[in-house]
């Protein structure tokens, strides 16, 4: 396995120099920003998601504040494993529906600081993918962390998509944050095999000289990377604490997009159900105002590169 290095390069000082940001991204395949988003915005969304979990009886508020995220071990262990693994989200389908209904969850993807970042990186108008993903990883010994993979085979469309990973709260390495394989974006699409964990596919890493990077995240930090960047989730080793995070995706508005990226994640609800009761019309069906270039799905990208390391 590749060696592991602790500590991302903080690109926050480059925010006023888009050309330098693009050079840094091209070299490493990722960019990390310490405190890019207001901490209070992140913790506000964290509280809303914790309230969803608490509604189902999975949070133990007797051990601390709701934001602390202590789970009721007995209640979590009572969830059938196949329900807990629903679509790689960490919670059963009904709870994930409730999370997808949260206006604040979708609104965060449109935060002005994120839009400004991607406008600088793309040098063009930005399309925010509406298929937003939440991970609410309830701790249990028999769950499997997301394996090493590249997002492009799951997203397709243009390769010029950027994933934005945001921890919803402080997330030290032992809580199971995201790790990236620095420089792996330059290797093209890599061989895959079936695997447990979110996405169901794992990238073969054969004789790579790249290094895994990992770090301790704080609420407000942002990690973004290219769609061919190999990345993985670290296992949650904190006793009884849930790990919350969001995956948002961005691309130049004029480049092709695969139609499933315009749907609700995992099709858990129709958009009209998601939007019921929302106060902001500007967040609803916004992509329909764009002249989108749609791309066909290519299933062969997922499996034609099956391979076993020598």
**CB 51 within 8 Å of CB 29:** no
DSSP class of residue 43?
H
The reported pLDDT for the residue numbered 309 is 65
- DSSP run (H or E) holding 273: helix 271-274
Q: Give the C-alpha separation, 167 to 151, whole Å.
A: 18
**193-223 confidence digits (pLDDT tens):** 776 766 677 777 777 788 999 999 999 999 9
String of DSSP letters for 107-151: HHTT-HHHHHHHHHHHTS-EEE-S--EEEEE---TT--PPPSB-T
CA 239, 138, 58, 41 dihedral sign is positive
**250-298 confidence digits (pLDDT tens):** 999 999 999 999 999 999 999 999 999 999 999 999 999 999 999 999 9
Q: Give the C-alpha separation, 203 to 148, whole Å.
A: 6
Those residues whose C-beta lies under 8 Å from the C-beta of residue 86, and which sit 6 or more positions away, are 92, 93, 96, 266
Residue matched to tokens 């290095």: 5
Q: What domains can be seen in the chain, in order of their start residue?
A: 4-303 (2.60.120.620)
């Amino acid at each position: 396995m590749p060696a592991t290095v602790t500590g991302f390069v903080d690109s926050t000082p480059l925010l006023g120099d888009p050309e330098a940001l693009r050079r840094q991204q091209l070299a490493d395949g990722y960019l990390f920003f310490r405190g890019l988003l207001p901490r209070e915005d992140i913790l506000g969304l964290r509280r809303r998601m914790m309230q969803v979990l608490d509604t189902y009886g999975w949070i133990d508020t007797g051990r601390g504040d709701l934001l602390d995220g202590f789970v009721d071990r007995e209640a979590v262990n009572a969830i059938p494993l196949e329900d807990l693994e629903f679509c790689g989200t960490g919670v059963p389908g009904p709870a994930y529906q409730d999370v997808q209904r949260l206006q604040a969850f979708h609104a965060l993807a449109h935060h002005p600081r994120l839009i400004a970042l991607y406008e600088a990186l793309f040098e063009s108008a930005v399309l925010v993918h509406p298929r937003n993903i939440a991970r609410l990883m309830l701790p249990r010994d028999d769950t499997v962390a997301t394996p090493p993979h590249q997002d492009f085979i799951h997203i397709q469309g243009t390769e010029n998509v950027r994933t934005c990973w945001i921890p919803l709260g402080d997330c030290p390495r032992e809580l199971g944050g995201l790790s990236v394989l620095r420089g792996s974006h330059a290797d093209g699409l890599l061989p895959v095999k079936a695997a447990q964990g979110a996405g169901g596919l794992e990238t073969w890493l054969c004789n790579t000289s790249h290094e895994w990077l990992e770090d301790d995240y704080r609420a407000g930090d942002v990690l973004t990377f290219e769609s061919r960047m190999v990345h993985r989730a670290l296992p949650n080793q904190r006793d009884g604490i849930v790990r919350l995070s969001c995956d948002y995706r961005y691309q130049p508005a004029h480049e092709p997009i695969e139609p499933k990226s315009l749907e609700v994640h995992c099709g858990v609800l129709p958009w009209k159900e998601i939007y019921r009761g929302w106060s902001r019309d500007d967040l609803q069906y916004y992509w329909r105002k764009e002249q989108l270039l749609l791309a066909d799905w290519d299933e062969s990208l997922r499996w034609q590169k099956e391979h076993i390391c020598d």
